[in-house]
Structure 1
Amino acid sequence: MRERIKMNQITEAHNDQEIGIVFIHGAGLNSSIWDAVISEMEVPCLAVHYPGRSGDERSLKSLTINDYVAHMTAQIERWGVRKFVIVAHSLGGALGLKVAEVMGERVKGYIAVGAAIPKDGGSFLSILPFPNRLIMGIMLRLLGTKPPESAIKQSLCHDLTSEQTETIARNFVADSARIYLDRYETHAPDVPKLYVKLAEDRDLSLPIQESAAANLKADDTITLPCGHLPMLSQPQALSEALRTFLDNKI
């Protein structure tokens, strides 16, 4: 799968002062979830994808956090935009912290959307309350990272259209368990940061999101009245939040 780029914003020679957006999706999903949001933006946009999507048939079972990060940063390097804001969703919030660490001063802002932000470089599981993290750890090791289709639809898609729901369930990818289980060993970047809470999220509860916002040390938080996938259920509202952040903070 090629990285998804808003092509009308890409020129042969980018202005070094131009700031774009890098979108990072969550586990099991793919970069196409950002299409409706990207269509609303007036800056260069790149939606990166994880390993194991269309055209990449390698096994994901043994891949590490660093393998995922290297796969995404290579796409950013090919893109060519020097400065950008990271917009990261769900488990992509933790992976995005590592991307920001690698990209260094090129990262000018960080927006977490219903995202998992571990404390003190912990694992994704560390954001869950006990005993949830213990139970989920056992399930990931025994059953893998792809939930039953019914669970995907109920937790991720309860406020989506039937067509969107079927697409998400059909295309869901079993990512490496290591991106859930391993420690991220990094911290929030020292840039302007926004956390977008999702009031009706059945995958990450509001208390977990509030803890994640605190771990991010977010400068601001906003709340959208939707479930786990606002880029599909409320793309205009999410796009407006991104534009406001860019206008006021960057």
Structure 2
Amino acid sequence: MAEFVLVPGTWLGSWAWDEVVPGLRAAGHGAHALTLSGVAEKRGGPAGQQTHVADIVGEVERLDLRDVVLVGHSYSGIPVGQAAERIGDRLAHVVFVDANVPADGGSFVSAWPEGRAQIEASMAGTGGFWAVPPAADFAGQGLTDEQIARIVDRSTPHPGASLIEPAQLSRPLGELPTTYIKCLLDWPQPSEDVVELLKSERWGLVEMDTGHWPMLSQPQELARILREAVA
């Protein structure tokens, strides 16, 4: 049985995985939802991207997990991809859920021309954090009004430094056993860097007919895909 470490994207805490965890545990797997530093119940101070890498590695080591499946959603794909190579033979698989993927020396905003300016402007008005967007920004993603309200109400500003700090990789990401989940309502095609990585025989693609937050819009289906990734 695998040990899933579930890492949410920007603004979200471990609560985002509440409806996915039961579907993994019912199949006999371990499931450990993680809140990154500076967000949700860990809110209160700045945190860089390498802090988030350390959060993930530290959780694996603290729990002495083996056969680890690291699952990264959205932004957290960047620290998850770095943590995957740092936990060595504890790693069984990586799953990126509609996620950014790390590139050595690159950051969350590297492929987003106006992103750095937008995030820095938000940081200037929120003490170094990226503000939670309004409910309207979550429309068209397969979420109910109730689910959108849950995201907006429970989200907290995200540490801006983690979005600008560069990634540090020591081996090609394509060497890692990986499943990439593309959520079609968010954007129908993977990004160019993911398309290139999918040429690796160790990478596979799964599509979901939902939006960018499948742990909320289709949690049972996401749990099924995660189980099948390690079957």
| TM-score of the pair, normalised by structure 2 | 0.84
Render the CA deviation track for 1:69-127: whole Å, top value 9, x for unaligned.
2223322223232221111110111110121132122111111110001444411122x
Say which of 105, 115, 120 aligns to 1:141: 120
Provide the aligned C-alpha RMSD in A: 2.2
Say which of 222, 226, 229 aligns to 1:242: 226
Give the aligned length. Answer: 218
Task: Check the 8 A contact 2:11/2:40 in 1, yes or no.
Answer: no
2:86 is matched with which residue? 102
Task: Check the 8 A contact 2:12/2:156 in 1, yes or no.
Answer: yes
Structure 1 residue runs without a partner (length 5+): 1-17
Task: Check the 8 A contact 1:118/1:212 in 2, yes or no.
Answer: no
Say which of 159, 165, 186 aligns to 1:176: 159
1:7 is matched with which residue? none
Specify whether residues 213 and 194 from structure 1 end up closer, same or farther in structure 2 by C-alpha distance, changes over 3 A only: farther
Matched, 1:195 2:180: yes
2:61 is matched with which residue? 77
Opposite residue 150 of structure 1, the aligned amino acid is A
CA distance in 1, matches of 2:195, 2:20: 22
Matched, 1:214 2:199: no
Task: Check the 8 A contact 2:68/2:93 in 1, yes or no.
Answer: yes
Structure 2 residue runs without a partner (length 5+): 124-129
Residue 185 of structure 1: SS of its match in structure 2? coil
CA distance in 2, matches of 1:135, 1:54: 26
Residue 40 of structure 1: SS of its match in structure 2? helix
Report sequence identity in percent: 26
Specify whether residues 56 and 239 from structure 1 end up closer, same or farther in structure 2 by C-alpha distance, changes over 3 A only: closer
Render the CA deviation track for 1:25-61: whole Å, top value 9, x for unaligned.
101111111121111112011111111345434322x
Task: Check the 8 A contact 2:103/2:168 in 1, yes or no.
Answer: no
* Alpha-carbon shift at residue 207 of structure 1 (Å): 3.8
CA distance in 2, matches of 1:115, 1:55: 23
Matched, 1:26 2:12: no
* Alpha-carbon shift at residue 151 of structure 1 (Å): 4.6
Residue 116 of structure 1: SS of its match in structure 2? coil
Matched, 1:64 2:48: yes
Residue 124 of structure 1: SS of its match in structure 2? coil
Matched, 1:91 2:75: yes
1:227 is matched with which residue? 211
Opposite residue 37 of structure 2, the aligned amino acid is P
Moved more, 188-197 or 165-174: 188-197
| TM-score of the pair, normalised by structure 1 | 0.78
- Paired residues for 1:3-14 under 5 Å: none
Task: Check the 8 A contact 2:39/2:157 in 1, yes or no.
Answer: no
